[in-house]
Amino acid sequence: MLESMSETTKTDDLMSPWVEVQRIDHTAGMWFAAALVSVALVIASIVVSGWRPSDLSSTGEDVWWIGFSLGAIGLAAIGYAGCPIYWGSVSVAHHQKSIAVRGGLVLFLLGAGVSVIALLQG
């Protein structure tokens, strides 16, 4: 069937909202799994070492919790993007999931960066 399609039709099919939503579901699921593993490793290391956010200065602790919260919101957005449930039409799901996966990755990485800066400032 693909042999009889023109190049324009193949490209249009690959960029259709339905195909994009399927791609986002798949890649966001992988991003979510990778993020969960990284969070689990970091939290396990923190728990084993006995470190607590209260070991930081008052400002450092606040900054660390802000970073942690940003990362948690980002992780939730990535999880939503990987969920194969669509609210409304495919075009609405495409729009929502595109924003969720991109925004989630940005917030997750920003939260990790803010938390590391808080740790380094001590």
Taking alpha carbons only, the member of 4, 29, 5 closest to residue 16 is 5
Confidence of residue 59 (pLDDT cuts 50, 70, 90): very high
Task: Provide the residue range defining the domain that includes 12.
Answer: 7-121
Is 24 part of any domain?
yes
Is 2 part of any domain?
no
pTM of the model: 0.76
Per-residue pLDDT at 3? 47
How many Å from the N-terminal Cα to the C-terminal Cα in the chain? 62
Side-chain-side CA neighbours of residue 3 (13 Å): 0
- Check whether 47 has a pLDDT greater than 90: no
- The number of domains in the chain is 1
pLDDT in tens, 62-79: 999 999 999 999 999 998
Is 1 part of any domain?
no
Is 65 part of any domain?
yes
Is 39 part of any domain?
yes
Is 45 part of any domain?
yes
